[in-house]
Structure formats: C-alpha cells, structure tokens
Amino acid sequence: MCANGVRIVALSGVFSAIRSAIMGGEKDSAEKIDDSMVPTETDYSNRNVMVGVVKSEHQFKVLVREKFYHIPMSQVNNCQFPVKYVAIYQSKRFFGKNAGIKIFGEVKSAATVCRNEILEIPKDSSEKYLYIKIKRWYRLKKDIEAKDMDGAAFSTSRYLLNNAHDSAELMIRSSEEHLFYKRLVGEVKSIMKNKGKDAREIVYRDHTVKLMGGAVYLYYVDVLECVINYEKFLERPMDLIKTVFDYYPEVQG
C-alpha cells in the first residue's frame, strides 16, 4: 500500500485475459508505485496526465499488451506537454458496463509519426499521430466512472486522477471550482434520488444557479444564460461549471 492509498492489484473481469501484459505476471503484481508518482498535496495545476480515449476492446488489449498509446495529433490540442502519464478512458458507447478509467501508464517516450509507421495496429494512412511508449501500466485502486466526453484527449493532474469519482471531475481546474462542482452535482443527485423538492439556489459571486422544475437554471446577475435538465447536466456537468468559472480566471489553478 502506498502513502496515498494507491496499490497495484491483480486485474479481474475484462483485465483477466491481459493480466500478464499489464503486470508482467502474478509474481510482481504487488509492486508499489514509485514515490515520485505519488501526489503529496492537492494540485490542480500540474496537469501532466493525458486522458486518452480507446474505441474498441481490440485496441485496448493491444495497447496494454504492447505498452503504447497512439492518438491523432489533431486530437491533442487541449493537452499540456510534456506528458508524464497516460490514463485510458473507456467510453460507455464502446465498453458498456466496463466503461470508465481503470488504468494509467508512465510515459517512456513520445514522438510524432505517420499513422502507417505504427505497426502494433496497422493502418495505411499518412496522418500525423502522437505515439507514446509506456514503461508500465498501473491499476487505479478505484475505477473512475465514465461521463460523456468528446473524442479529443485532455490533461488532468495526478491528484485528480487519484481522487476523482467520475471523468468529469478530471477537468476541474481549481479548489473553488471543485467545491462548487461537488455542491451542485450533490444537490442535483440528492433531488433525483429522493424525488424531493427542487426549489434550491446556489450563489457564487455574480452567478446564481436555481434548481427547479427538473432543470438547472444558470443566471449571470439577472440574465438567464442557460437551462439544462438534470439528466443532461449530470452527464456533462463541466459544461455548465466552466461557463461559470470562465468569468473568474483569477481563481483557476
């Protein structure tokens, strides 16, 4: 067990067939994460983790077995470099009940190559790709729930990767944003779970969020900016939260 509660454990379910590829066999499956990988404090700004999408079970198995990750250069515009880790996002669309973020790897090297140079999963294309070699894959102690996200990769921090409950949380940029996220998401979930009264209000600076009639209403001063029903909000909560906090860049990490 590491200082932050993260440990490497034997994989099960979808991972059982590729345990040796990830862990190098059962004998070394209890190897601890190196101390340099363990976040020692709350950190939103050091976003050296790329969260990348995989689109099929075959692709997932090959990248784990061969210890690499590849993505079109056109899909890394929202990433910060250099990248130290890669976390693998398995979407609900392609993985169903096995969706989520379950593993991450430490980067060994990265290079821009043509797609037809990536031999692990051949394809006749000259499109530019980011090709990342992985030193070793690690299993997160707790799976991160999959929320709807675009195909493009994005960056997060090791602190968030260790502590997020769902993939939307990985996009949070500051402690204030995190507190607002937890309060708003928690209120909406509570209303839906208990089917209680939803005449509730949350105020942050010049913004007011009103929960009523099964929807989230966002106001800036007295101007209504958007309305979104609870289900859609919970699938992509950061869309609304970013709308609020983009007004206050001084509080970003």
Last residue of some domain: 147, 166, 185? 166
Residue 20 lies in a domain: no
- pLDDT category of residue 152 using cuts at 50, 70 and 90: confident
Specify the pLDDT at position 199: 81
Arithmetic mean of pLDDT, 172-187? 94
Tens digits of residue pLDDT in 219-247: 999 999 999 999 999 999 999 999 999 99
pLDDT of 20-76, one tens digit each? 443 443 333 323 444 455 555 688 999 999 999 999 999 999 999 999 999 999 999
The answer to whether residue 31 sits within a structural domain is no
Helix axes 175-194, 237-245, angle to 10 degrees: 140
Per-residue pLDDT for 14 more than 60? no
**94 touches 146 (CB < 8 A):** no
Cα–Cα distance measured from residue 129 to residue 215, given in angstroms and rounded to the nearest whole number: 41
Q: What is the pLDDT of residue 214?
A: 93
**Residues 47, 158: one domain?**
yes
Residue 204 has a CB neighbour count (10 Å cut-off) of 19
25 falls within a domain:
no
Q: Is residue 154 part of a domain?
A: yes
The pLDDT of residue 253 is 62
For the chain, the domain total comes to: 2
Q: What is the pLDDT of residues 102-116, one digit of tens each?
A: 999 999 999 999 999
The answer on 245 and 157 residing in a single domain is no
| Residue 10, domain member (yes or no) | no
Give the Cα separation of 145 and 90 in Å (integer): 10
Q: Using alpha carbons, select from 218, 222, 223 the residue that is nearest to residue 243.
A: 218
Range of the domain at 109: 42-166
Closest listed residue to residue 58, CA positions, set 128, 122, 133: 122
State how far the Cα of 59 lies from the Cα of 90, in Å rounded to an integer: 11
Last residue of a domain, one of 166, 192, 210: 166
Q: Quick check: 9 pLDDT over 50?
A: no
Assess contact for 115 and 127: CB atoms under 8 A: yes
- What is the per-residue pLDDT for 41? 64
Q: Is residue 9 part of a domain?
A: no
Query: Which pLDDT value is given to residue 39?
Result: 53
Using CA atoms, how far apart are residues 153 and 156, in angstroms rounded to an integer?
Answer: 10
Examine the fold and report which residue of 132, 166, 200 is the final residue of a domain before the chain moves on: 166
150 confidence band (pLDDT: 50, 70, 90): confident
Mean pLDDT of 205-226: 96
161: CATH = 2.30.130
Is the model's pLDDT at 188 over the cut of 50? yes
User: Does 203 share its domain with 116?
Assistant: no
Place 19 in a pLDDT band, splitting at 50, 70 and 90.
very low
Whole-number average pLDDT of the chain: 85
Same-domain pairing of 131 and 58: yes
Quick check: 51 and 85 in contact, CB under 8 A? no
pLDDT at 197: 74
Q: Are residues 121 and 55 in the same domain?
A: yes
